[in-house]
Structure formats: C-alpha cells, structure tokens
Amino acid sequence: MKNRLSFECINYKNRDSAFESITKEQEKIGYYMLPEQDIQPILDYTETISDNIDSVAIIGIGGSSLGAKAIYEFIKPIGELEKKLYFFESTDPVNIHSTLDKIDLNRTHFFIISKSGTTIETFAVYKYIYSLQSSPKSYTFITDRGSPLDRYADEIGSATLYLPTGVGGRFSVLSVVGLAPLALCGINIKNLLKGALKIKNSFFKNGYIKDTILKKASFYATNHAKYHINCLFAYTESLKYFCEWYVQLWGESLGKRQRHSAFNVGLTPIGLIGPKDQHSFLQLIMEGTRDKSVTFIKVEDFQDKIEVPNITLPHLESLDCLNGISFSTLINLQCDSVVEALENEGDVPIDTITIPRIDEFNIGSLIFYYELLTSLVGELIDVDTYNQPGVEAGKIILKKKLN
C-alpha cells in the first residue's frame, strides 16, 4: 500500500508526542494486539459448523457488522467464497423480510453480536428470527464475558465467543467479531491479519508508513477547524462498504467534546465512490467552500482484462479514443484526472492511497491503517477516541420510551 500526500505539516512536537501516547496506549486498548492473535481456535470452531450450512448471517449493528461487511464485499467479487454472508443490521421490516427471503433458515448459521449483550436493535431482530428458527445449534453469540447475552447463550445451550479485553465495537473487525463469520465464508483471515501486521510493524518499528500517518494525522488535527470535512473517494465499487465502515469509525471516534476544554470538535466523514460521484459531489469539492480534505483510493491491478471493444458508433466517432482501453486503466485515468484537477486548484488538501490488488492482505492493511490514523487524530485533537457518549444518550432515551 502506497500513500502519497500533497500537503505538509511541520508540527513535529505534537506529532512526536502523539506517537508516544499511542505507543503507551497499547497497554489498555486491545485492537493494537489483534494482528498478532492466535486464530487457530476461531478456525477450529468454524470447522465444526461448516458442513451443515449454505449461508452465514450476522445479526448486529454498527461495529458488530460494518467491518465484516466491508471485508466481505471487498473480496466477494474476485473470490470463490464457500458461503454467502448476509446482514441483519436494521429494524426496517422490509429489509428484514427481503433478507430472510434469500436464505434457508435450516441451512444458515447466525452470529448474534453485541458487546454489551443488550443492544436493542440486535435483539428485536433476533427475537423475530428465533421465533422462526429456535434450534440452539443455529446460533453463535459473540459478546463480553459475563454479559446478559453470555448468560442467555449458556441457558439455551448455544456456543459463545468472547471479545478480547479492551476492544471496542468499531475497532473490533479484526477480532472474533469479524474473523469468525468471515472464516466460515471461506475468506483467508490469516492473510487479513498479515496485512494488518505489516502496517503495525511499519508504524511502531519506524518503517515507511510511520512518517506518512503521523504527518497526515498532524495535518488533520492542526487544520481541523478549517478542513473539518474529510472525504474518502474510492475508485472501486468493492470499497463501497469500507467507506461505510470508515464513516462510523471516523465519526463516532472523533466527534466529541474535548477532554481538557468545553469545546466540541470533530471531523465529518464522507464516503464517495468514483467515478459515479464525479458527476455529483465532485462539483462541491471543486468549487464549493474550502472546508474539505480528500483522500483518493485506487487499485493498481484489478486482475481483470476486460476492454472497451474496438467499435465505431455512427455520429459518436469522437469516442473512438476509448477503443481497446481496459476498464481498469480507464477507471484509474479517471481518478488521476480528478486528482490533477484538484491539485491545479491548489487549495484543497488531497492524498492518494494506492492498493496493489484486491485481496485479504490489502484490505487488512487498509483497515489497520485507518484505525491507527483515527487513534492519532483523536489524541491530537484531545478527545477520548474510544467512547461514544452521544450515541449512548439516544439509547438511554429509547429504553425509557420502550418502558
């Protein structure tokens, strides 16, 4: 993975301080350790339930589902996966019914994921599905040890997998939360973690990525009042759900009241997909208010040789310039052209991340890169990156209304 920045930030003091804080933070924040975990127990467990099912489903919301969905949808177009993965992540009744219509309840294994064990949306959906399929063997519960859900699973005789200590929901994709259902589908979780470990080692052992991430985080923090909107512009449909995961990670981690002041701060995340969003949101970036930074993500090798046919269309001869060009070359030329246009503007901060190819290793690298970047920006803008009091406030009110 390569990351080219078009901006500079010279606040080395804060940058060095943030690195020291993140290094120390590893003692209590669990996601840093995930790339080096022993995944054999996960592989052994999924092997025990693999033979009797055709599909896998996750019942969960937010961090319980978005990460696994991002990885699955990234790999699915190019991988011959053993099983399909479905997501119940909304209380929308139409969505629930349409998803159920796609699966055979007797040939599907469900992962019920809730760190607290009491997530309202998750258990509203679970109760409905349980009324249709009550076999304990159809369910695996993923939660914190000792939670109400842990006790419930033990009561009905279903299996329970536990989140590692100190791993919050939106940082949990590389834990059992994402790894168990992905492994059951046939995704290579070993390579997923290898990609994450490469970024971790490069960052903490003074590799090539350390200076890049520190420089980028320092720029975002120093200019968070001016460039308070960060656009992730991915030039592949495969990253559509990665953009959704990034929006949760960035928004829920960084939109906070500062720890040592009464100021409310944050960077607003926006996920875009090229080239289609060139024909909509790009206009706002190009000529709108200068309050946005943009990160472009492109794939170097799509591993697909499909080309525009060598055909001349009457009255459209000017488009013969497309003839014979591969679609992978075309989409990257579109990305490069937009980058160049914004560079010519001169006052829109941009950077470009290039992924060598679509596979588990590279999506693992990208996920850990963004987790590190989020932690650094949170430290630099003086917020608690790992709580979410604004989200909890709404949950408290909902429970009062339901009662």
Catalytic residue numbers read: 252, 279, 395
Q: How far apart are CA 17 and CA 5, in angstroms?
A: 21
Look at strands 159-162 and 139-143 and give their pairing: parallel
Look at strands 292-301 and 229-234 and give their pairing: parallel
Helix (H, G, I), strand (E, B) or coil at 66: helix
Q: How far apart are CA 159 and CA 111, in angstroms?
A: 10
Amino acid at position 163, single letter: L
Amino acid at position 116, single letter: S
Among 269, 264, 221, smallest CA distance to 380 is for 221
- Residue 275: cis peptide before it, omega within 30 degrees of 0: yes
Q: How far apart are CA 83 and CA 397, in angstroms?
A: 39
Dihedral angle over CA of 159, 165, 167, 169, nearest 10: 40
What phi, psi does 27 have (nearest 5°)?
Answer: -70, -25
Query: Which DSSP state fits 266?
Result: -
CB 322 within 8 A of CB 308: yes
Neighbouring residues of 236: CB distance < 8 A, sequence distance ≥ 6: 273, 297, 298, 299, 302, 331, 358
Helix (H, G, I), strand (E, B) or coil at 104: coil
Q: How far apart are CA 370 and CA 134, in angstroms?
A: 39
Q: Name 221's bridge partners.
A: none
Burial code of 309-339, b = ≥16 C-beta within 10 A, e = fewer?
eeeeeeeeeeeeeeeeeeebeebbeebeebb
Q: How far apart are CA 379 and CA 38, in angstroms?
A: 29
